[in-house]
Amino acid sequence: MKNEMILSFRASLENEPFARTCLASFIASLNPTIDEIVEMKTIVGEAVSNAIIHGYNCDSEQTVIMKAMIHDRTVMVQIEDRGQGIENIEEAKQPMFTSKKELEHAGMGLSIIEALCDKMEIISYLGLGTQLIMIKEFHHDQDRNDS
Ligand SMILES: Nc1ncnc2c1ncn2[C@@H]1O[C@H](COP(=O)(O)OP(=O)(O)OP(=O)(O)O)[C@@H](O)[C@H]1O
Ligand SMILES: [Mg+2]
């Protein structure tokens, strides 16, 4: 089975739960487990909040784009901003690295995303923006031990 969606929304933190819920309903046809839904919503929440807070410095005039694709039981999600970009991607991926310590960020968002998906890729150019691409495999119904 193949499916695709694209969503663009204003860079306001108010829209973070909207983006999470939207992705959760897009993947509903895969009959995901509760754990898989929670993981996917966490991934989207962290990625969207990074785009808004770091990419756009919370400028709600800007736009975040979320694309998602389903191919069999593989889900690809891409969160894109055309904001400030990441200076050093390897440094940004380190657990507890944050450029906003004063705002009490833990610097754990990207580490959490990396732990919850099967593959994470960051494409970012200073002054142009960031694309975060995440791939997650969903378990087959018959492989589950919760049914
Ligand atoms: N979309 C983005 N645009 C620009 N910089 C980003 C983006 N996403 C991440 N970064 C940079 O990578 C750093 C690490 O991101 P990460 O999500 O791991 O931590 P954080 O957002 O600072 O803290 P937390 O997610 O725990 O609140 C950020 O502090 C920021 O400097
Ligand atoms: Mg973050």
pLDDT tens track for 40-69:
999 999 999 999 999 999 999 999 999 999
Atom of ligand 1 nearest to the CA of 108: 26
Show the ligand 1 pocket: residues with CB < 6 angstroms.
46, 50-51, 54-55, 81, 83-86, 92, 97-100, 105-111, 130
Residue pair 5/19 in contact by the 8 Å Cβ criterion: no
- Residue that wins the pLDDT comparison between 32 and 147: 32
Q: What is the pTM of this model?
A: 0.95
Q: How far does the centroid of ligand 1 lie from the alpha carbon of residue 141, in Å? A: 35
Q: pLDDT at position 101, please?
A: 81
Question: Which residues on adjacent β-strands are paired with residue 120?
Answer: 134
SS3 content of the chain, % helix, strand, coil (to 5): 40, 30, 30
CATH, range 2-141? 3.30.565.10
Domain regions of the chain by residue span: 2-141
Split at pLDDT 50, 70, 90, the class of 146 is low
